[in-house]
Structure 1
C-alpha cells in the first residue's frame, strides 16, 4: 500500500494544483474510504497532507509569473476571519443546511464560470473588492466548517474576476496556503490526531506532483488553456455540489 498512497498523492497533488485547489476533500475521501481513518483524524490529516504540496506548487506557480498576489490578498481579507468563524460555529450547523448551502453556492458559481467561459473579457488590473470579499468568505467557511480546502470557490471567483485559468490556479494556491494553515491549527486544537504514516506517504507524492505540474502548464498558451479548462472547472463545480447533495441523502 505504500506505493499506492504515494501514487495517489502524486496524482491528486498534480491535478489539483493545476486546477487551483488544495485537494483536502480528495485526501479526506481516500483516508476514510481506503485507509479506514476516523473522520475527525482524517480531516486534520488531509489538511496536513495538502499544505506542503500547496507551498511547493505555489512556489512553482510563482516562478511561471502567473501569480497575482494582490488579488489573493483581497480574498484573504475575508477568507481568514471566515475560516476561524466557520471552525467555531461548525458544531452548531446542521449537516443538511450546510450541504444545501454548498450545493447552491457551487451551482451558481459553476453556471457563472460556464457563462463567462464563452464570453470574451478584456484583462484588467482593477479588482472588484466586493466580489473578492464574497468569494473569500465562501472559501473560508468551507475550510472552517467542513475541513475542505476551499480552492473551488477561490478559483471560480478569480475566473469571474477576469483572470486566466493559469493565473487563477496560481493565485488560488497562494491564498490556500494561508487558509489551510489557519484551518489546520483550528482542527488540531479541536479534533487532535494526525495519521502520520498515511498522511506522510501521500504528502511525498503530492509534493512531486505539485512541483512538476506548474512547469508543465507553463508550456501552453494562457488563453488557449483557459478556453479548455474554464468550462471543465465550471462543470466540475456543478458536479461536486450535486455529488455532495446526493451523497448526503444516500442516493449515491
Structure 2
C-alpha cells in the first residue's frame, strides 16, 4: 500500500500545487475513499501533511513572484490560533457526521469561489488592486481572514483554500495568481497548529504521514510551476473543481 499511496499523493500534489492548495479536502477524500482510513485519521494526517506540501509549493510560488508576503504572514499567524483552538472539537463529532460536514464545506467553498470569480471583472482578475499593507483596515481584514479560515481548517481538517483565496481577493484585492501563491504560505502555520491538535488527540498516523508527504511534496513543487504558465481560465476552473471532486469522493465513501 505504501507505494500506491506515494504515487497517488504525487498526482494529488501536482494538482494542489497548481491551484495553490495545500491539501483541501482532496487528500482526505483519497485516504478515506481509496485507502479505507477513518475520517478522523484522514483529517489529522492530511492536515499535518499540508505543512510539508505547502512549504514546498510556497517556495516555488515565491520564486515565481506569486506571493504577497506580509498579508500571508498576518493571515497565517491568526489562522494558526484559530486552527489550534478548533481542532480539539472535531473528536467529539461522529465520523459519519464529520464526513458529511466536511463534504458540505467543500461544496460550499466551490460555490462561493465560482460566484466570486463570475462577478469579478477580467481587469481585476489579471491585475488586482492590493490593499495598502498598513493601517487598521489591512490588519483587521487580514486577521479576520486568518481567524475564520483557521478555525474551519482545524475543525474540518481542510486547508480552507477557496475561503482564504476569496478573502484575499475580496478584502485585500489580490489577483487570482497572487491569491493562489499566497495561500500556500498562509496554510503552513495553520496546518502546523491544526496538525499538532490532532496529534494530541491520537489522530495522526506517522507512517501514513511520511508516505503522503513524500508524494505530495514533490508533486506540489512541480505543480506550482504551471500556475503562471497556463491561461487564467484554466486556473479558475481548477480552483473550483478541486474541492467539488473531493466532496463527491467523501459522499461516495459515506
TM bracket (short chain): 0.7 to 0.9
Contact persistence 1:155–1:172 (CA under 8 A): yes
TM-score of the two chains, using structure 1 as the length reference: 0.79
Q: How far apart in 2 are the matches of 1:105 and 1:7? A: 27
- RMSD, aligned α-carbons: 3.3
SS in 1 for 2:36: coil
Uncovered stretches (5+) of structure 2, i.e. residues with no partner: none
Uncovered stretches (5+) of structure 1, i.e. residues with no partner: none
| Residues 54 and 236 of structure 1, relative CA distance in 2, 3 Å threshold | closer
- In structure 1, the residue matched to 2:232 is 226
Q: By how many angstroms is 1:213 displaced? A: 2.0
Q: Does 1:188 align with 2:191?
A: no
Q: By how many angstroms is 1:169 displaced? A: 1.7
Q: By how many angstroms is 1:216 displaced? A: 3.5
| Residues 77 and 114 of structure 1, relative CA distance in 2, 3 Å threshold | farther
Q: How far apart in 1 are the matches of 2:87 and 2:175? A: 31
Equivalent of residue 123 in structure 2, options 115, 120, 128 = 120
Q: How far apart in 1 are the matches of 2:212 and 2:246? A: 25
Q: By how many angstroms is 1:175 displaced? A: 0.7
Matched positions, count: 242
Q: Does 1:168 align with 2:172?
A: no
Contact persistence 2:19–2:180 (CA under 8 A): yes
State the Cα deviation string for residues 149-194 of structure 1 (Å, max 9, x = none).
2222112222333323332121110110110000110110123441
SS in 2 for 1:191: coil
Q: Which range is displaced more, 175-184 or 56-65?
A: 56-65
Contact persistence 2:227–2:235 (CA under 8 A): no
Contact persistence 1:110–1:235 (CA under 8 A): no
Q: How far apart in 2 are the matches of 1:100 and 1:34? A: 16
TM-score of the two chains, using structure 2 as the length reference: 0.78
| Residues 210 and 120 of structure 1, relative CA distance in 2, 3 Å threshold | same
